[in-house]
Amino acid sequence: MKRIKIAIIGAGSAQFSAGIIRDLCVTPSLHDVDITLMDVDAKRLNFILNMSKKLVKELNVDFQFSSTTDLAEALTGADFVINTAQDQGHSWYEAQREIGERHGYYRGGMLGQIYQTAFLLEIAQNVEKYCPEALLIQSSNPVFEGCTVIHRMTKVKTVGLCHGHYGYREVADVLGLEREHVTAKMFGFNHWIWLADFRYKGEDAYPILDRWIHEKAEEYWAKPRKYSDQQMSPAAIHQYQLLGLMPIGDTPRMLETPSMLGWFYNETLQAKQQWYGHQGGFDSEIGWAQYLEDLKEKTKAIEQAAVDESRKVTDFFEPVQSDEQIVPIIESIVCDKPRVFQVNIPNRGHLVEGFPEDIVVECEGLVSGAGIQGIHAGRLPSRVMAGAMNPRYIQCELVSEAICTGDYNAFRLIFLMDHATKSLQQVDNLLKDWMEDPRNRCIRNILKK
C-alpha cells in the first residue's frame, strides 16, 4: 500500500493539531503516513512541528513530518486534507463583530460567518487545483454553509465534521442515565440538529426528560456554570417545548440566527443571561472572553510542555483515541473498515427529507473503502420543519447565493432578513464599512466588479 499523505491546514492550533497527531499515533494501521503541517504563521508552525515530533517520540511512533507556509506545497500530492483554519484568526473575527455592532447588529450579526464561508471555498478551490482526488475533511466553521458552497462550486470530495452530536451524552448525564444504555439519533443541518430518537434501555427516554424539567430544572439552572450549560439551558428546554424535539449540541445557541424564532434569546446581554446563565452563554461578550482566556492558558501550558524536557506532551494528550471522528474516518477509508459516523454530506437521495439534493445535511453515514454513503434519516416533525429547519435552510441559501455569485444585492438580502435591520441604509452602511476593510480579502475577491 502506498504511503498516505495527510495535510493539516491551519496547523498553528496546538490543541487541535496535537490531538489529531495523537489520534494517528494510537491507530497502528495509519503509522505509515506522511504529515504536512501548514499555517501562515511561521513561528507558530515551527513550534507545532517541534511539539508534534516530541509527541510522537513519547509515543514511539515514527511519522514523516514536513511543514510549510505555502498552501500549494502542502496540498500537492495529499490524499486527505484536514482544514481547521480560521482566516486571520480570532482577531479578524472580533473585528467583524465590532464592525457589526457599530451598525446596530449585536455581536456582529453574520459578518464573520459569511467571510469564513468565502475562505472555506477558497481552500477547496486550491484542493481542486493541487490534489483533486483528495478527501477534504472540513472541521472549521461554518460547516453547513461552507460545505454547501464547496459542493456547489467545486468537484472536491468533502465531508464536514463536528462533535456537537455528542450533546446527547450531556442530556443523559444530567438526567442520571448510564451512557452505555442510551441510544440516540439526531439529524438536520450542522449546528442545527434535533434528537429524533432518544432511548434508555430500549424505551423512549423523553418522558424522563419531561420529569426532569418539571421536578429538577429550576434547581439545576440556579447553580452558576462556566459559559452556562447550553445543552440543558433554559433556552434549550424552551426550544424543546416550542418545537417538540430537543435541540442538540450547538443548536440551542445557534437559534439566535436572524429572522428565526430564537432571536429574542440573544438580542442583548441581559437576554442571553436570562436564557443561558450568568455569563450569558458561550457566545456572549462575557462567555467568549472567558473562552479566549481559557484557550490562551491551555495553549500556554501545552507550549511549556513542548519545550520543557522534564514535562511530557502526553500529560495533556492522553494516548487514547479522542472523540474526534477525523482519524477513524481516514482509517475506515484507507483500510476498508466499515463504520458508521455522524457526517455532513450532500443530501443526495434526500437523506433528510424535505430539502434539495445540493444542500449539505448532517446525518449518519457508512464509511469504508468505497467512500462515504449517507444513511437515510427521514423527515423531521412538521413543527420543527416550519419553525426551525425551513428558516435555517433559507438563510443558508442566501449566504450561498452571495458567495457563489458575488452579487452585492445578494449580500443585502442576507441582512434585510435580519431582525436587527431597521432600514436599507443601515444595511448599505454596514456592507460598505465591512467590504472596504483591508482585512476583508475573501469577500473583495468574489465581489462582482
The pairing of beta strand 4-9 with beta strand 80-83: parallel
Amino acid identity, position 126: N
Amino acid identity, position 251: T
| H/E segment holding residue 195 | strand 192-200
Amino acid identity, position 259: S
**From 32, 41, 163, 428, active-site residue:** 163
The pairing of beta strand 192-200 with beta strand 203-204: antiparallel
Give the single-character DSSP code of 110.
T
Separation CA 364–CA 342 (nearest Å): 4
Residue 315 is among the residues annotated as catalytic for this protein: no
C-alpha cell at 234: 433554559
Cell 480579502, residue located: 441
Residues forming beta bridges with residue 247, ordered by sequence position: 194
Separation CA 377–CA 394 (nearest Å): 21
The pairing of beta strand 157-160 with beta strand 182-189: unpaired
Residue 163 is among the residues annotated as catalytic for this protein: yes
Cell 501562515, residue located: 40
In 134-233, which ranges are E strands? 135-138, 157-160, 182-189, 192-200, 203-204
Separation CA 156–CA 140 (nearest Å): 17
**From 229, 250, 283, 418, active-site residue:** 250
Q: How far is it between the farthest Cα atoms of the chain?
A: 62
Residues known to be catalytic: 163, 250
